[in-house]
Amino acid sequence: MRRLAAPVLVLAFIGVAIADIKIGGLLEAGEDIVEMAFNSAVERINTHGLAEPGERYTPTSDRLLTRVEHIERSDSFQASRKVCTLLEEGVAAVFGPQSTDASFAVRSACETLDVPHIETHWDYRSRTTNHSLNLYPHPSALGKAYLDFIKYKDWKNFAILYEENDALVRLQEILKDATLMKENRVTVRQFEPGTEYRKTLKDIGKTGIKNIVLDVPIKSLYTVLKHAQQVDMMSEYHNYFITSLDAHTIDTEDFQYGGTNISAFRLIDFSSKEIDEVARDWIQRRHRFSSKKSSSVQSFNTGDQDFYKNLTTKVALMYDAVRLFATALKDLHPDTGPKITVQPLSCEREHKWSQGNAFVKYMRMINIKGLTGNIRFNKDGHRTDMRLTVLDMAHSGWREAGEWTMLGGINITTNYTRELEEARLSLLNKTLVVTTILQPPYVMYKEKWRELGLTGNDKYEGYCIDLLDSIASSEHFINNMKYVIREVADHSYGGRDADGRWNGMIGELLNGKADLAVADLTITYVREEAVDFTMPFMTLGISILYKKTAKPPPGLFSFLDPLSLEVWIYMMTAFLGVSLFLFVLARFSPYEWVNPHPCEGNPEELDNQFTIWNTLWFTIGCLMQQGCDVTPRALSTRVAAGMWWFFTLIMVSSYTANLAAFLTVERLVSPIESVEDLAKQTTIQYGCLRSGSTQSFFKDSQFPTYAKMWHVMQSQRPTVFAESNQKGIDRVLRGKYAYLMESTSIEYNIERNCDLTQIGSLLDNKGYGIATPPGSPYRTMLSQAILRLQENGDLHVLKERWWKKQRITKKCPKDIINKGTSAMTVASVGGVFIVLLVGSCVAVISAIIEFIWRAKKIVPEERDPLCVELCRELKFTLTCGSKKPLARPRSDENLAIAATDNGMPFMPITGFGLHNKNTFS
């Protein structure tokens, strides 16, 4: 309200109110509809006031009268003469004309006499003057909308094609944008004058650019699009953005079904309440209007649809301009505010209209809703704050896809379901071209296809062919997807050549030669930047394919192989250690000393069977699982012997089992075990497929081993890169060559060729996917179908079929490489040694217990203290000889103990009691 105060105050001092206000229109030839809009707006205001549909009718105080002058198109001389005629008739404002030059002439006349000049066309020269107002969006605002749209689309590259020089001004926001220009994404071409658009379009097509910003006058737009269609520039992979705000008026019938992505902005707000009433009004007027004019008059055809199609921005803006003027006028009603007076003015004289400037200022401050949305001006008098509707071409014609506003920028409301439906429908009449490469088991010729006379798709079979078939018949496509299979011309998967151009299947997708690439095509980052991939249908990694090394002839000492050298050494040590231990233990234990002649009641000496030789014989007998007639009697020796038996049991069983494996299994001895081994040596050459993802993997790798391998591969002459996997395999079979190949293909080949084997694990992890040109509408459907096949287990069944069942002539014996048949190390049998050690400790403890037990049973008077007896026994133990003199017990009690303990009528121990002392001293 504050903003309005100043001009209203100015106008408050103005003289007498008048009933009729004349407004002048300067219309160029062929603008009958603009004229109709001009007149209809005035008539509607005079009869219905300014009330919006549904609002109460509020009549305006002043009646508007129109005064129209016609001029030739862009005739500025005529325009400047005719504006003077209008001014002499006392018009309160001049509307039009549309062409920039003529309008410029009118503007200067109006400026001189301070008469409001209301324009409705794009004009980059438009500057703020006190007396003029342009309802057309300001070039800077429109430029920003274009830029926002391009940025939203995020095209990798695009071409700007224009016809008139003005276009460069219109698109300057894009051309000024540092990021777009820096990345060299924009190609700018002007159509050569003379409407031969085909040549320029063809040239752009050859560069592979699929995204086009089209700036041509609306009258040429249809022809340009038609020419684009003729030179194959209107496929579903092409995107067009039309800068004209009238794109909705062209006949779209020819472009709706091709699936080309065509977008444009529209200023007219078809959702405004007023538009339907205006439509009805204009359709009624059509009859009156066309009966007055000749048959050549451009008019609306029957039906609402045609009204909307023919409603151009300039027509709507003219209507809005009149309403804006009328709103300002209404605000200046005698009852509600100041009044205006108009008077005839002459171009010859300097006499100005005193209220002109204030009137225009007032118009700039008010805000109305019109056919072109909200009409408001910024402080400079420019219309920058407007709403543009984003239009997309669909099967049914133009479709509203979102909007652009100065504050909110681009806001696209994507309806995926609708998009999918559109894509599905577009497939109904289309046969997709599928590019592929011959690679078993993915794509192969059927056996005897020539003899059977098979052609086209019928001659192929394989995993990918079955996959394609399952996808095509899935419920994601209406009436099955139709396709024709073509082999890629250069027999490559797709890599970038020296000048950055893609070859192989990727190249064919980008050149528009194919719609899909279905093969064992790896999804990689660089490829994903150029084309689109579906969900992966198989996962894999790079590995090494190598020739199996022949089994070495068995050696004389192969029987030693099951155990590693260190285990053999440990075993020998254990054998000697246990023998010695048992020898000492048996001498120490009192229960191992026995009467050598059981028939003799009172032996002089006791005997011990565990002499050093007997002990060695005993342990070796156990180790060899033979046993011997030396058997331990005491608990301690039995514990020690038991542990040794346990040890020998485990060791012998392990040895036997491993020996069996060594003798029966085909053992592979490969000079390389991993990719690191391969990188380290120089005798075996290695390479991979040319122009594939495996090559790119090594080429782009920063990992030192792989980078080094790439360096080596590159420097090899003759080349180590194979033209096809089959050639790589043949070279492997010739020997001294390792082929870096994808694991799934390795798996397939080693299943069929028993001379081949995989070395080491996977170097990376990736997947195969179906590739489509960028922005393909079919990608989502294909991904959905792949997911469904995966969930159903169909992909697994296909894999089993093509890897394990089809085309297998003989089964290769399973290679159990090293893992099961390697010599046993301490790591696998160390536990047994520990058990043996623990057992020995238990045996020592039992020997001591035995000794104490036995000693305790002797009458204390007849023996020395326990530790003295113990030391004496130990000393004896360490001396040689297997005989021990027997000391007689002095009491009958001890004799009885001896009889119960040993079952003998004498005591088989020495060293207890005083006698012993005498014996050994």
Q: Least distance to ligand ASP from the beta carbon of 711, Å?
A: 19
The amino acid present at 237, given as its one-letter code, is Y
527 is in an annotated binding site: yes
Tell me which stretch binds ligand ASP (CB under 6 A): 395-403, 584-592, 607-615, 686-694.
Answer: 686-694
Whole-angstrom distance, CA of residue 39 vs CA of residue 10: 30
CA 763 to mean position of chain CA atoms: 20
Which residues does 587 contact at the CB level (< 8 Å), separation at least 6?
608, 610, 876, 877
Q: Are 652 and 575 in contact (CB under 8 A)?
A: no
Closer CB to ligand ASP, residue 132 or residue 522? Answer: 522
The amino acid present at 679, given as its one-letter code, is A
The 298-337 site mask, x for binding ligand ASP (CB under 6 A), equals ----------------------------------------
Name the 3-class secondary structure at 402: strand
543 binds ligand ASP (CB under 6 A): no
Q: Least distance to ligand ASP from the beta carbon of 374, Å?
A: 54
Closer CB to ligand ASP, residue 87 or residue 741? Answer: 741
Q: Are 768 and 523 in contact (CB under 8 A)?
A: yes
Q: Least distance to ligand ASP from the beta carbon of 624, Å?
A: 56
Among 693, 749, 757, 783, binds ligand ASP (CB under 6 A): 693
The amino acid present at 701, given as its one-letter code, is S
439-to-54, 148, 222, 543, 808 alpha-carbon distances in Å: 71, 45, 46, 18, 16
Among 69, 123, 148, 520, binds ligand ASP (CB under 6 A): 520
Tell me which stretch binds ligand ASP (CB under 6 A): 234-242, 279-287, 366-374, 688-696.
Answer: 688-696
Closer CB to ligand ASP, residue 494 or residue 774? Answer: 494
Closer CB to ligand ASP, residue 388 or residue 763? Answer: 763
Whole-angstrom distance, CA of residue 236 vs CA of residue 260: 4
Joined tokens for residue 200: 């320029």
Tell me which stretch binds ligand ASP (CB under 6 A): 234-242, 689-697, 715-723, 890-898.
Answer: 689-697
Q: Are 435 and 508 in contact (CB under 8 A)?
A: yes
Cβ-based neighbour number of residue 191 at 10 Å: 23
Closer CB to ligand ASP, residue 316 or residue 688? Answer: 688
Name the 3-class secondary structure at 911: coil
Per-residue DSSP letters for 553-599?
PPPTTGGGTTB-HHHHHHHHHHHHHHHHHHHHHHHH-GGGEE-S-TT
886 binds ligand ASP (CB under 6 A): no
Pairing verdict, β 158-162 and 766-768: unpaired
Pairing verdict, β 186-190 and 158-162: parallel
The amino acid present at 238, given as its one-letter code, is H
Which residues does 827 contact at the CB level (< 8 Å), separation at least 6?
none
742 is in an annotated binding site: yes
Tell me which stretch binds ligand ASP (CB under 6 A): 444-452, 468-476, 520-528, 845-853.
Answer: 520-528
Closer CB to ligand ASP, residue 7 or residue 494? Answer: 494
Closer CB to ligand ASP, residue 723 or residue 893? Answer: 723
The amino acid present at 38, given as its one-letter code, is F
Among 263, 522, 743, 757, binds ligand ASP (CB under 6 A): 522
Which residues does 772 contact at the CB level (< 8 Å), separation at least 6?
509, 515, 516, 517, 531, 532, 533, 534, 778, 779, 782
Closer CB to ligand ASP, residue 493 or residue 912? Answer: 493
163 binds ligand ASP (CB under 6 A): no
Which residues does 111 contact at the CB level (< 8 Å), separation at least 6?
117, 129, 131, 132
Q: Least distance to ligand ASP from the beta carbon of 693, Å?
A: 4
694 binds ligand ASP (CB under 6 A): yes
693 is in an annotated binding site: yes
Number of alpha carbons in the 13 Å side-chain half-sphere of residue 534: 29
Closer CB to ligand ASP, residue 578 or residue 689? Answer: 689
Whole-angstrom distance, CA of residue 701 vs CA of residue 485: 34
Q: What's the N-to-C CA distance of the chain in angstroms?
A: 134
Q: Are 843 and 578 in contact (CB under 8 A)?
A: no
145 binds ligand ASP (CB under 6 A): no
Using the Cα atoms of residue 734, residue 735, residue 736 and residue 738 in order, give the sign of their dihedral.
Answer: positive
Q: Least distance to ligand ASP from the beta carbon of 443, Å?
A: 12
Closer CB to ligand ASP, residue 771 or residue 886? Answer: 771
Residue 64 bridge partners (DSSP): 21
Joined tokens for residue 11: 């106008």
Name the 3-class secondary structure at 612: helix
Among 90, 370, 373, 692, binds ligand ASP (CB under 6 A): 692
Q: Least distance to ligand ASP from the beta carbon of 541, Å?
A: 11
Joined tokens for residue 39: 């007149």
Among 255, 325, 398, 493, binds ligand ASP (CB under 6 A): 493
521 binds ligand ASP (CB under 6 A): yes
The 375-414 site mask, x for binding ligand ASP (CB under 6 A), equals ----------------------------------------
Q: Which residue is closest to ligand ASP by CB?
A: 692
Whole-angstrom distance, CA of residue 873 vs CA of residue 920: 10
913 binds ligand ASP (CB under 6 A): no
The number of residues that bind ligand ASP (CB under 6 A) is: 9
Query: Which ranges of 332-443 does DSSP label H, i.e. alpha helix?
Result: 356-365, 416-426
Tell me which stretch binds ligand ASP (CB under 6 A): 279-287, 317-325, 401-409, 517-525.
Answer: 517-525
Closer CB to ligand ASP, residue 116 or residue 774? Answer: 774
Q: Least distance to ligand ASP from the beta carbon of 520, Å?
A: 5
Q: Are 335 and 61 in contact (CB under 8 A)?
A: yes
Q: Least distance to ligand ASP from the beta carbon of 506, Å?
A: 9
Q: Least distance to ligand ASP from the beta carbon of 433, Å?
A: 19
Beta strands in 827-904 (DSSP E): 883-885
CA 785 to mean position of chain CA atoms: 17
93 binds ligand ASP (CB under 6 A): no
- Location of structure tokens 């050639």: 727
Whole-angstrom distance, CA of residue 717 vs CA of residue 714: 8
Q: Least distance to ligand ASP from the beta carbon of 722, Å?
A: 9
191 binds ligand ASP (CB under 6 A): no
Which residues does 538 contact at the CB level (< 8 Å), separation at least 6?
520, 744, 767, 768, 795, 799
Joined tokens for residue 131: 């007396």
Number of alpha carbons in the 13 Å side-chain half-sphere of residue 76: 10
Among 148, 163, 269, 742, binds ligand ASP (CB under 6 A): 742
The 25-64 site mask, x for binding ligand ASP (CB under 6 A), equals ----------------------------------------
Closer CB to ligand ASP, residue 7 or residue 769? Answer: 769
Element (H, E) at 705: helix 704-715
637 binds ligand ASP (CB under 6 A): no
758 binds ligand ASP (CB under 6 A): no
40 is in an annotated binding site: no
Q: Least distance to ligand ASP from the beta carbon of 696, Å?
A: 8
Q: Least distance to ligand ASP from the beta carbon of 547, Å?
A: 19
Tell me which stretch binds ligand ASP (CB under 6 A): 185-193, 251-259, 378-386, 518-526.
Answer: 518-526
357 binds ligand ASP (CB under 6 A): no
463 binds ligand ASP (CB under 6 A): no
Q: Which residues bind ligand ASP (CB under 6 A)?
A: 493, 520-522, 689, 692-694, 742
Known binding residues = 522, 527, 693-694, 742
- Known binding-site positions for L-glutamate: 522, 527, 693-694, 742
